[in-house]
Amino acid sequence: MGDLLAVMKIYLQPWLCVMLSVTVLCLNVLAAEDSSDVPLRMANGTVIEGTMQEATPDGLVIQGEKNKYTAPWKYLSAGTRYRYELPMLAAQEVARSNALKKAAAEAAKKEAAEKVAAAKAAKAAAAKAAVTNAVGVASNMPPAK
């Protein structure tokens, strides 16, 4: 039992906690590589010559030595797709969400304007009916004898 307590005290030492924290921080820094340093690869491992211009739904637009071309997503390696396709899809989802919110706001605004217009039209029709009824009652009276 005494040996178990001695081993447990070692794990609670502050220097061990500090070393663990520093190790985790160093691993995070190393994992956050700049994606421009990592070469673009095809699914078979071949390095693609050129620089990435933009990510589109059709694929990755690459500026080669002579011209631009689009490499379809299905032919790119998993790492290349992970670095470029996922952020592009996330940006598309944000744009879609913003467009839906904007359309919903415009629809609500249009519906409110239609309600106001309908209320004005009903009020005008009621006023016209009141005038017509007043005139109709006066004109439909039997002649005086």
**Average pLDDT of the residues of the chain:** 79
**Tens of pLDDT, residues 60-89:** 899 988 899 899 989 999 888 888 888 888
**Are 45 and 21 in the same domain?**
no
Rg over alpha carbons for the chain, rounded to the nearest Å, is 37
For residue 8, what are the domain limits? 1-32
**Are 2 and 53 in the same domain?**
no
Averaged over 114-125, what is the pLDDT? 89
**Are 27 and 41 in the same domain?**
no
**Are 78 and 42 in the same domain?**
yes
Q: Is 59 left (phi over 0), alpha (psi -120 to 50) or beta?
A: left
Instruction: Look at residue 20 and tell me whether its pLDDT is greater than 80.
Output: no
Using CB atoms within 10 A of its CB, is residue 52 exposed (0-12), middle (13-18) or buried (19+)? middle
Model pLDDT, residue 51: 86
* pTM, to two decimals: 0.46
**Are 72 and 126 in the same domain?**
yes
Rounded to 10 degrees, the C-alpha dihedral 84/90/93/94 comes to -120
Q: Is residue 142 part of a domain?
A: no
Q: Is residue 75 part of a domain?
A: yes
**Are 27 and 67 in the same domain?**
no
Model pLDDT, residue 136: 47
Instruction: Look at residue 134 and tell me whether its pLDDT is greater than 60.
Output: no
Count: domains in the chain:
2
**Are 57 and 69 in the same domain?**
yes
Q: Dig out the tokens for 57 from the structure.
A: 């739904």
- Cα dihedral sign for 80, 83, 85, 86? positive
Model pLDDT, residue 82: 85
**Are 47 and 92 in the same domain?**
yes
Q: Is residue 123 part of a domain?
A: yes
Model pLDDT, residue 108: 92
